[in-house]
Structure formats: structure tokens, C-alpha cells
Structure 1
Amino acid sequence: MSKRDYYEILEVSKNASAEEIKKAYRKKAIQFHPDKNPGNSEAEEKFKEAAEAYEILSNDEKRRRYDQYGHAGVGGASGGGGYGGGMSMDDIFSHFGDIFGGGFGGGFSGFGGFGGGRSQQRVNKGSNLRVKVKLTLQEIANGVEKKIKVKKYVSCSHCSGTGAANGSSYSDCSTCRGTGQVTRISNTILGQMQTTSTCPSCNGEGKIITQKCAQCNGEGLMRQDEVVTIQIPAGVEEGMQLSVSGKGNAARRGGINGDLLILIQEEKHPELIRDGSDLVFNLSLSVPDAILGSAVEIPTVEGKVKVKIDAGTQPGKTLRLKGKGLPDINGYRRGDLLVRINVYIPKDLPKEEARLVEKLKESEAFTPGEDAGQNFFSRMKNMFE
């Protein structure tokens, strides 16, 4: 069965902004939320389908791939462990609950009686780290392994990340009674509205430490350097962001580590210019080489190659060297090297060379016409020899 278009699922245009996509998903999630549709399997599937669409379209890189290649460009989403098929309802809540102000992740419980009792203790997640990595064109062409040193928060070795001193105990938070969340009920024109938010006293942990670890002051974290090895695939581009799961900051008092976000920067090549997967080289030829032809060396990311320049090559002509560009990051093709021909015209000439040019000017070969070049190349060769 073919999958539905993600834009169609959320009922937005392909030019929709991130905010429009977020609002559209929120509307769909409210409409098909299980608490509003108890026992309705069709509504539950639509709820998961909307979450899958939002997971792709809210991520700039995934959205770009989807726009370019469709479902195949994002691994089919649900077939590859996406939200539509591979994750539970609670997984969806934990990933996207923030767009509902915190209450959605722990239970919808709104609209006067639709509460589902999904309240659960908050799972801590460490913050993400972002680093910039500069790459040469050769590294981009072949992919590269990089070792980078990052300063990050790790679990305190003295208390194993708990934040509590040895032998210390925990007590339930008196504000939230150990749930990690506080609930408020307000009256609206639609009836009573119940909202759930993170407990401000225990930061959603549900527990209070009776005696804090002296080394980390109860945070469960210490700051230190760590060397992280990352594999950068071939074909990445300037501004692209890669994510290394679990290599960010450790979570406060246990939980899930954040991610390490790698922002790609390209080092400028002294001779080659990047244009997507293609590379461009501007070749300057002397007038004699353009007229008589020549063999020149062209730089590529793999070293220099010899290219034959035909006699009578015109300025502005572009030669295409197939497969000498960069690989596509998705592995579909490899770009080409485009050699753009420029002819160098000197500003000042010695008198002797100027006289030669004057002779050339008188030649019929310099008069535009279909037969102008007959016997010209042999005459030119004799003159320059």
C-alpha cells in the first residue's frame, strides 16, 4: 500500500513555513488524540500518521530529502523505524509533547473529561552540543573520520550521576507528590481545561535529595574534555548538520545524553569551485594555445589530469570531465568537473610581438567567415616557430 503525501496529511502547502507545519500538526494531533477518541483505532492511526509527517517536515534536512526523492529519500519513514509504525504512543508524546506546552507529553487530559491518565515521571535529557568541523574538498569527496575534542558535561564519578552523597536517600517531592508534574484546571467557554506542566520544585524528577554530593553539588554532572570519533560521509555540503546520538551533554541526575551536532564548513580550494556535486575550474589559455591547441594539466580532487585542448578553442567554451566532481550524499551519482575556457589577452606587448600581431590582423583567417580558418593553423605555427 502506497504511503500518503506528508503535506497532504497535515493539509499544508509545500511552501509552508516551519510555524505553519507546527500549527497544522498540533491541530491534527488534537483532532485525533486517543483521549478524545477512545477505542477508535482509525483515529489512532491518523494520530500516528500525523506524527510521522511532522517528524519529517519539521526537520530541514529530512524535509529537503523528502521534497527531492519522496518517501524513498527518508527511508520510508515508518518502515525504517519512524513514528507511524515503529514507535508507541508514549514515544510520540515524549518527542513532540513540547509543542503543547508540556502537558501533551505526560497526558492530554484536557477538554473537560478526555483525560487519559497518561501521567508519567519526566525523563531527563541532556542538552545538545554543537561544533563546527572544517573539511577540504578531498575529505568531502572521499568521506573522512575525524577525532574532535569537546568540553561537555558527564556523569559525576563520585555519585554515579545521582547527585546524592553516599548513603543519602531521596524523598518524594511534596509539591507534585512524586509524579514530577503539576496539574491546573481553568474554566473556559469550552468548559474546564486541564493543563499539565513540569513540577517547578523538583524539575520533573519527582524526588528530592536529602543530602547532596559535595563534588557536583547535587547536579550529578561534572565538566570535562572528551575525544569523540565521528564518521563524516562523502558528499556533505557547507551548512549541513550531522547528528551523533548520545554524544552530547549528560542528563542532570541520570537520563538520556544529548546529541552532538556537527555543522559542516568547507575550506576554500585554491583552484576548484564547488557547484553542488559538480566542480568548476577556470582555465586561462594563451592566445597561441587557444589557436593552435595544447595539452594542459587540470587539477581534480584526486590529483592532476592531462586534457587535450583542440586547436581553435573559443573563449567561453566549457569542457566536461565526467565523474571528476563530488559524490552525491545519497550515493545516487557523482558530479562532473567543468573546465571553463578563458583566453588571456596581454595588455602590453613588446614591439616584436606586436608586429607579429599586426601581421595576423592582416590575415584573412582573422576575418569572420566559415572558410576563414583554412591553412591558418599551419601559417600560425610557422610564424611562432
Structure 2
Amino acid sequence: MAYKDYYDVLGVTRSASEGDIKSAYRKLAKQYHPDKNPGDDKAAGRFKEIGEAYAVLSDAEKRKLYDQYGHAGQVPPGAWSGAGPAGGGFSSADFGGVDASQFSDFFQGLFGQQGRGGFRGGGGQVNLDDLMSGMGGGRRFVQNVEGELQVTLQEAFSGSEEVIQVEGKRLTVRIPAGTRDGARLRLAGQGPGGGDVLLTIRVLEDGKFDLEGNDLTTSVDVPVDVAALGGSVRVPTMKGDVTLNIPQGTSGGRRMRLKGQGWPGKSGAGDLYVKLNLVLPTQLSAEEKQLYEQLRSLRQA
């Protein structure tokens, strides 16, 4: 499978700072967000590709591995770190008398760091039974395996179903609504030899919303006439667009609160804070220019 360079995906240089990477991601995520490109499979694919690149380059350890080994430094789907036979670790007997520490280094080099990688983004499948039998083990291992599963902010908010492959077996993973980044899911008995599959959920940053605690923050453009005279604008929420009434004389940078439109929590949903960006016209018709000049004259009188 051909992989695109993650730096090229985000349009940054290999020496880009953490801030440069985050800025590039936010810009591209806004441009290709599914809400702005409904029904566009190409844009949806690009959005996921951008998320995968950011998930690696925004993590110092993952970026170091990527810089050193490229995509080989990222664990592909099905390539797992494990807890050993029956969860108890490997002994030299398990490998025909060879020192197990050598295989520890081998697995780390082959699979990457513990649990690094993810399911989105493709990659080959590694059959642990074949691998072990090729080493002379010749028996089935009970193996607990770990991996990361990337979901969008919307999928984490609303809940979703994701399909992964473990040892060539397709598994459906149900993501509960309101799932947080770092949440752990356990698929009992679905790993090699009847072991468990342990998933860490990674919620991709969204170009439209920021999450802090149970509160979400977004921004919306407000035309100067609406800010001056009052009116309404449409505001995106995780449940769809709503109408926000703008008071007369509203200034740019003001934050308004939409109660209960934030992230779900045990004691109820948080709030959505909307930052108002005042938008001035860049081009004026002759009539509009005349009206602005009249307004200026009135203010100077």
C-alpha cells in the first residue's frame, strides 16, 4: 500500500513546530470538514487523512518514530503489542529455549511502541499464530492485544459503530455517545487464542469546535449591520445548526452562551460558547458607500 507523507498531507515542512502543525491541521480540517462538504466522499477521505497525519505529528513520541522509520514506525491494523501467553509474559521455553528478551526487542522493532498506531489508515494484517509457529512454538497463545482507534469529534459526541480487523476477523466496535479521548474499551475474548482486545479511543481535534471540560467553543461570523442593528445568525452545534439572536450594538469578540449545547456529562450537558467575529464588507457598492459616508457625517456632527 502506498502511503502519503504526513508532512505533505498537512502542507508543513519536517522542521515545523508544534504550533505550525496545529495551525495547518485546523485550517485543513475546516476546509474538508464533512459538514462543509456533504456527500463528498473525496473530501471525507481527505478529512480522515488529515486527522491521521495530525494524530502522529502532534504526538512527540509518534513523530519521533515517524521521522526515524516513516510509516514502518506506526503499528498497522492487526499489528499488536501483547501481554504474552495467558497474559503472563513469555519465557525462553515458549521460543524453543531462546532468550525471550531478544524477542522483546524484535517485537518492539516489528510492531513499534506499546499500543501505538491505530485502525484508521489501512495496513497489513499480522497473524500471531503463524508468527509463533514459525518460531517453533507450535501452539496457540492466549494473547491480550492493544491498539488505538481514532474517531472524529462528532462520532465521539453522537456515538458510532466502527469496524476493525483482528487476525483477519472483522469486529464491530460500538463507541458510546459522549466518549472522551483516552477512553478504554475492552472486547472480551476477541483477541488471539481467546484473549481480550483493549482499545484506547483517540478523538481527533475538530476544526470547528474546541472541547474543554464539558463545554464546547466555536466561532461564527456576524455582518456589521447585524451587530449594529441586532438580528440573528446561524450557529453550528453538535446536534445541527440553530439560530442565535444578536443584540443591538454587539461588538466583535463577544462570547455568547448556548446553554446545554455542550458535551454530555454525568450531571448533564455542558454549554456551547459562541465567539462572534465581526465581518466588515471588503467591497462596497456606490449606494452602500454613500450610506456609510452619511453615517460618518452623523457621528462627527
Q: TM-score under structure 1 normalisation?
A: 0.38
Q: Higher helix share goes to which structure? A: 2
Q: TM-score under structure 2 normalisation?
A: 0.47
